[in-house]
Amino acid sequence: MKSFLTRVLINALAIAATAWLLPGITIGGDKVLTVVLVAVVFGLVNATIKPIFSFVTCGLYVLTLGLFTLIANALMLWITQYVTAWVGLQFSIDTFWTALVGAIIISIVSFVLSTMFGGRRHRKAD
């Protein structure tokens, strides 16, 4: 449970940083609550839809030597926008290109925060 909450918090901070950096991504309403809920939806989309999408498009991953991952991440962010709009959250992305840049920023910020706070720490055996 602790790792799930850590992951949601890291995603929330990454999404908030992305919305702050990119004028094409906006968050409305109660910003803190909206960002946390968007992070939960983003995590669910990545956990459910992305594996299926990756399996179906595995040839593109191989053909592009992994660069298709950028497109896949942008699509997951784009799908998150539609799901959050469907449930009434105020999270919007202007264009697919904004989603692509946003997905790159989210990946970088999430990676940095994960290495700082989310990584498992192992104790050396005495």
Joined together, the tokens standing for residue 18 give 């992305």
Residues 72-82 have a mean pLDDT of: 96
Residue 78 has pLDDT above 60, yes or no: yes
Residues 110-124 have a mean pLDDT of: 74
Using the Cα atoms of residue 27, residue 29, residue 33 and residue 39 in order, give the sign of their dihedral: negative
Residues 9-17 have a mean pLDDT of: 95
Helix (H) or strand (E) holding 37: helix 31-56
pTM of the model as a whole: 0.87
Crossing angle of the two packed helices 68-86 and 31-56, in degrees rounded to 10:
130
What's the chain's length in residues? 126
Residue 126 has pLDDT above 50, yes or no: no
For residue 2, the model assigns a pLDDT of: 74
Say if residues 73 and 111 touch (Cβ distance below 8 Å). no
